[in-house]
Structure 1
Amino acid sequence: MIMLYTTQEQLKKLFSPFGLVTQADLALDPITKRPKGFGFVSFKSEIEAEKALRAMNGRIVSGRLILVELANEK
């Protein structure tokens, strides 16, 4: 979970030390348009994504535990 007041730019900045972030999106409630507490980050390469996964999964950020997983393609 990420902080509910985290912006897309902050999410991108949080993950940018691990590689080129090509996209950072926050999941929003469709009715209230407020953040749901999670998001998606895309990297230029799979290696960068794996590096971010290893470094960020289980880390505490702003008092909240961050869980990072590779997204399943649909």
Structure 2
Amino acid sequence: MAQRIGTKLFVSRLSFYTTKDQFKNMFSPFGQVTEANLVMDSRTGRTKGFGFVSYQSEDEALKAIKALNGRIIAGRIIFVEPAKDNK
């Protein structure tokens, strides 16, 4: 039986200059993005280099992982994986 990955993804090693719109647009081709949040540094106003993106379905999330994990975006290799459940 396949392991469920859920609909929320953790994205790391993003450029510190990535904007929220760029982040959401990066993941939009793979399905309906329900939420896209970059974790921001309150001191600098820039991203800390990671964020979370959620999709309508698990299939869409899986497509995004397969397409973007290990890709070079803005000169950096990004990692896309299922978000850990904080239960």
1:26 aligns with 38
- Name the SS of the counterpart of 1:36 in structure 2: strand
More helix by share: 1
Greater relative contact order: 1 or 2 (C-alpha under 8 angstroms, separation 6 or more)?
Answer: 2
1:68 aligns with 2:68: no
1:44 aligns with 56
| Identity across matched positions, percent | 55
Instruction: Determine the C-alpha separation between the residues in 2 that align with 1:3 and 1:34.
Output: 10
TM-score w.r.t. structure 2 length?
0.78
Range that drifts further, 61-70 or 31-40: 31-40
* Runs of 4+ with deviation above 4 angstroms: none
Q: Unmatched 5+ residue regions in structure 1?
A: none
- The Cα shift of 1:14 comes to 0.3
Task: Tell me the C-alpha RMSD between the 2 structures.
Answer: 1.0
- The Cα shift of 1:34 comes to 2.9
Matches within 5 A, 1:3-22: 3-22=15-34
